[in-house]
Amino acid sequence: MVTNRVPFTLRSLLCVASFTLAVVFVAQPAAAQPPVYINQTSCVSGTCVTGGFLQTINVNCGAGQTLGGALAQIADRDGPNLINVSGTCTAGTNINGFNRLTIQGPGAFDLSGGQSLAFFGSRTINLNRLTLIHGNGLSLQDSSLTLTDVAVQNSVGNGISVAGASSLLLNGDASAISITNSAGDGIAVRSGSTIDLSGTVTISGSGSGGIFMRGGTTRMSAGDSGLIDITNNAGGGISGDDFSVLNIFNGSAPATIHNNGGPGIAMFGGGLDISGNVLVNGNLTTGVPPDWPFPVGDVLIIGGGGSFGDGAQITAGGSLPAVAVLNGGLFLGGATVSGAGGISLQGGSKLLAIGTNSISALTCDVSSWTSGDLGPVGSNNCGNGAPSGATGATGATGATGATGATGATGVNGATGATGAPGLPGATGATGATGIATTESWNSFFAGPLAGTSIGGFLTPDTPITLKRVQAAAQTPPAGCTTPAQVIVTDGTAPRTISLALSAIVNDTGPQSLNYPAGAPIYILTTPPTGCATVPANVNVVVQYRSR
């Protein structure tokens, strides 16, 4: 069996740079007078609070004061406390273990190099009326923040990095939020973290993607008077892998994802649910590489599922699909899909439609199909209902019975009456079933495993059982925080197996994972983090048997 390695990863299609969690520790100012700690009982009312806060500290960065100096003066880190910032601060700060803390302007942080405002293990943090310029913007690790009237501009990496099960609310209901001109992603969401966008929020001009998720969740709603606008990002609008989730529920105000270099939305193995006044159009401005093996649209779903409800509009430019689905599921419940390419279903994909939809065109390969009330459709080669399965193999022919012995020749006499026909001979026994043999499927990942990569795919004609996955790295990993993973999957959780690359030779040991006939199976790799040496030139062998 020969497989062709896909020559670039999904992230290279989207032109989205790798998301690297980098925290730069900056020098803190000289210590203030030793604080007198009040009772750490989180006083929230009574005589211990003045104006709603335990302490109110003013910081004038124009006079040489710093945010780090103000933090050193806080006696009770559990708050509530208030820091007023004025002028332009030039020192990044690590904020570790503070709760119920408000930092408000009008003020700015113009950071050099890789400095940032970095929050660790902090809860109920509010940033109001602040501008962050240059540096590494804002980062969260195991923290919860709310931004109001905040602008993040010209970051040298990601504008905002959210990791370690953190949560971030971009509250644009009263004043607009903007993340513009980041060199990396506008917002990167990882490791079980969640971001919420509300009201008026703009993410534009990123050198990579507008929002990138790896095992994260993004929820957004412009409400009835806001505007969520994700536009002009070089690598794409919103993308997610590692079972990320995207939810957009809008009222009368719009959420627009448009004029991005890659797809407006790209979900790899995750899920999306969109309804209300949501418009996805005019993306893929940098085009599609000519050797990319799958259809690509303004919305791309690979190995996951997506839902578009009432009010959602997806419009493609040129001949490309508006929605392209590979080995995934799509639900339409009142959506409009327009453009010459319409919807493309490939690799065993399914479309279920209810309500009033409008679809400009439908294209299916032989393994994909649709069901339900599609509504008005232009050109359509998709069948309604699941396709017939493949014809089973013909059973073996039984053995021929033995020939009886020839009798002796008698004397010629008168011709006697015709005798009755003799009984048929016994049917011979069926031969024993042959011994099942193991087959192998090989894929080679050339070069360092620096991103998510599809090594190859197999569509079996008959049901198979995966018996073992082995991987050999010509350049073994060293010093990795999180190892690279080899993943074999048909896009469903029960039929997904992972092998961590932690040595030269890696082996899952004996397995028994059943796959149905006709379902595409993929070999993927995901990159490691924190490595001194990134594994490279990895050969993967998948052993399986036909059932």
What single DSSP character describes residue 62? G
What is d(CA 195, CA 217) in angstroms, rounded to the nearest whole number? Answer: 6
Nearest to 368 by CA among 380, 356, 350: 350
Q: Render each residue's pLDDT in the chain as its tens digit; 547 residues.
A: 333 333 333 343 333 333 332 332 233 333 333 444 444 445 545 456 778 999 999 999 999 999 999 999 999 999 999 999 999 999 999 999 999 999 999 999 999 989 999 999 999 999 999 999 999 999 999 999 999 999 999 999 999 999 999 999 999 999 999 999 999 999 999 989 999 999 999 999 999 999 999 999 999 999 889 999 999 999 999 999 989 999 999 888 899 999 999 999 999 988 999 999 999 999 999 888 777 787 899 999 999 899 999 999 999 988 889 999 999 999 999 999 999 899 999 999 999 999 889 999 999 999 999 999 888 899 999 877 766 556 678 878 878 878 878 878 767 778 768 768 767 767 656 556 556 688 998 999 988 998 888 888 889 999 999 999 999 999 999 999 999 999 999 888 889 999 999 999 999 999 999 999 988 999 989 999 999 999 999 999 999 998 8
Task: Note the pLDDT of residue 1.
Answer: 36
Annotation: CATH topology of 439-546: Jelly Rolls (2.60.120)
What is d(CA 117, CA 133) in angstroms, rounded to the nearest whole number? Answer: 11
Pairing state between β 464-475 and 536-546: antiparallel
Question: Are 276 and 248 spatial neighbours (Cβ–Cβ below 8 Å)?
Answer: yes
Q: What is the full DSSP assignment across 381-434?
A: ---BSPPPPPPPPPPPPPPPPPPPPPPPPPPP----PPPPPPPPPPPPPPPPPP
Question: Are 284 and 259 spatial neighbours (Cβ–Cβ below 8 Å)?
Answer: no
Question: Are 10 and 241 spatial neighbours (Cβ–Cβ below 8 Å)?
Answer: yes
Pairing state between β 117-120 and 93-96: parallel
Task: Note the pLDDT of residue 431.
Answer: 53
Amino acid identity at 4: N
Task: Note the pLDDT of residue 410.
Answer: 66
Lookup: tokens for 148: 């109001």
Task: Note the pLDDT of residue 289.
Answer: 76
Task: Note the pLDDT of residue 389.
Answer: 55
Nearest to 1 by CA among 390, 435, 439: 439
| Residue with tokens 């994802």, as numbered in its chain | 257
What is d(CA 501, CA 410) in angstroms, rounded to the nearest whole number? Answer: 83
**How much of the chain is helix, strand and coil, in % rounded to 5?**
5, 45, 50
What single DSSP character describes residue 482? B
H helices present in 32-187, as ranges:
67-72
Q: Outline where DSSP puts E strands in 449-510.
A: 453-458, 464-475, 484-489, 496-501, 505-507
3-state secondary structure of 493: helix
